[in-house]
Amino acid sequence: MLKTTDPKRKRFFGDSNLKPNGVTVFLYGRLFDPLIQGNFWVFIKGIQERTPGQYHFRIVSYEDAERPLTDAQLKQVQEMEAIGVSWSPLKWHPGQGVISKVTDLISGFFAVTRERLKGNKHVIAYGSVAASFCYLYSLLLGVKLFLYSYEPHSEYARDNGILSEQSLQYRVLHFLERKAANAAAVISSGTVFMKRRLLDDWAVTGEFFKIPSVTDNQKFAFNGALRAHRRAELGLDPQRKVIFYPGKFGGLYYAREITQMFRWLLDEDPDLFFLVLSPQSAESIRSLFAECNVPESSYKVDKADYENIEQWFWVADFGIIAVPPGDSKKFISNIKVGEYLCAGLPFLITRGVSEDSIVAADCQVGVVVDGFTREAIRDAWPSIRSFLEMDPVQRRAHCTKVGLEYRGFQTLQARFETALSALVGRDRVL
The whole-angstrom separation of Cα 162 and Cα 6 is 47
Q: Are 279 and 255 contacting, i.e. CB atoms less than 8 angstroms apart?
A: no
pLDDT score for 387: 98
Domain ranges in the chain?
A: 7-214+409-424, 217-407
The whole-angstrom separation of Cα 69 and Cα 64 is 10
Tell me the per-residue pLDDT of 122-149, one tens digit each, with 9 for 90 and over: 999 999 999 999 999 999 999 999 999 9
Percentage of the chain beyond pLDDT 70 is: 94
CATH 3.40.50.2000 fits 217-407, yes or no: yes
CA 146 to chain CA centroid, nearest Å: 17
Q: Rounded to 5 degrees, what are φ and ψ at 243?
A: -100, 135
- b/e burial code for range 319-348 (CB count within 10 A of at least 16 → b): bbbbbbbbebbbbbbbbbbbbbbbbbbbbb
Q: Do domains 7-214+409-424 and 217-407 have the same CATH topology?
A: yes
The whole-angstrom separation of Cα 414 and Cα 55 is 16
CATH topology of domain 7-214+409-424: Rossmann fold (3.40.50)
Q: Inform me whether the pLDDT recorded for 325 exceeds 50.
A: yes
Tell me the per-residue pLDDT of 53-91, one tens digit each, with 9 for 90 and over: 889 999 999 999 988 998 989 998 999 999 999 999 999
pLDDT score for 50: 87
The whole-angstrom separation of Cα 84 and Cα 174 is 35
Kindly report each contact of residues 264-269 with a partner whose C-beta sits within 8 Å and lies 24 or more positions away, as own/partner. 264/374, 264/377, 264/378, 265/377, 265/381, 265/384, 266/294, 266/298, 268/378, 268/381, 268/385, 269/241, 269/385
pLDDT score for 393: 97
- b/e burial code for range 357-376 (CB count within 10 A of at least 16 → b): bbbbeebebbbbbeebeeeb
Q: Inform me whether the pLDDT recorded for 379 exceeds 60.
A: yes
On average, the pLDDT of the chain sits at 91
Name which residue leads in pLDDT, 367 or 168: 367
The whole-angstrom separation of Cα 45 and Cα 29 is 18
Q: Inform me whether the pLDDT recorded for 39 exceeds 60.
A: yes
The letter for the amino acid at 420 is: L
